[in-house]
Amino acid sequence: MFITTQGIVLRTHPFKDNQLIIKLFTKDDGLISCIIKKNRSQIILSEILTLAEITYKKTKNTSIFYIKECQVEYVYKSIPRCQQKISCAMILCDILNKCLNEVSPFLYDFIAESFKNLDSQKKYPVNFKNLFLIKFCDIMGIAPLNNVGDNSVLSLKEGRYILANSVINKRDIIPLCESREISRLSSLNYDNLDVNSLEKNLSSSVFNFLINYISIHLTDLTKLKSIKVLKEMG
């Protein structure tokens, strides 16, 4: 049976001399692995982040499928020319590859539109990755309750804001400054990024705490090697 759907490439790795195995998050079938040929018609799927319509052969009792046809749906303009955007996109793809385990057309649309928005930004928004992760947490149903007060900090384990003076173990909470930034970012959208940009050091700190938060409530991301790359670039 042949299936046609939209997909975004999250990972690629060599298979045979003239073939690659790619992992895509698709709109209708969730996360799938496919074999592509290194020919003119399919090599376009060898690039991480590619948004395409694909037709693949779905066979029972196998976890890897063969691509029959593919057509790119969106051509990135600025991301390939900006190292910061490339690094940001790659780490987010790595995170998604680790976290995604369900079929969700809504989640697919969010991911696709997010990367299109990153591509449309004239300059790399330093807090894009943080807003993406906050919105992702919301869609996955693990977003913290935004019950923030004047002296509230975000509890990593409880997923809600608590009074700073009630904290017993500081390792269980996100510090006041970062907690406030996460709360503030929760009310923004991508169009606000340029006028509401974070300082580089604060952005990196918020990112690290969001990784810890997701690792507690969804999937352990602390061992991803690519996390270190984005920490260094800020």
One-character DSSP codes across 182-197: HHHHTT--GGGTTTTP
pLDDT at 21: 94
Q: Over the stretch 218-228, which tens digit does the pLDDT of each residue have?
A: 999 988 888 76
What does the pLDDT read at residue 86? 93
CA 136 to chain centre: 7
pLDDT of residue 150: 77
* Residues 6+ positions from 44 with CB-CB distance below 8 Å: 50, 52, 70, 72
Cα gap 54→101, rounded to integer Å: 20
Q: At what angle do helices 83-99 and 225-233 cross, to 10 degrees?
A: 150
DSSP helix/strand/coil, 149:
coil
CA distances from 199 to 127, 194, 206 (A): 9, 12, 11
Judge contact between 5 and 11, C-beta under 8 A.
no
Distance of CA 118 to CAs 127, 193, 212, 232, Å? 11, 10, 24, 20
Q: Which pLDDT score, from 0 to 100, does residue 59 have?
A: 83
pLDDT confidence of residue 222? 85
Distance between CA atoms of residues 110 and 42, nearest Å = 25
pLDDT of residue 105: 97
Domains of the chain: 2-74 (2.40.50.140), 79-233 (1.20.1440)
The pTM (predicted TM-score) of the whole model is 0.92
Residues of the chain under the 70 pLDDT cut = 168, 194-198, 228-234
Q: Strand locations in the chain, DSSP E?
A: 2-16, 19-26, 30-37, 51-57, 64-74, 152-155, 160-163, 173-174
40 three-class SS: coil
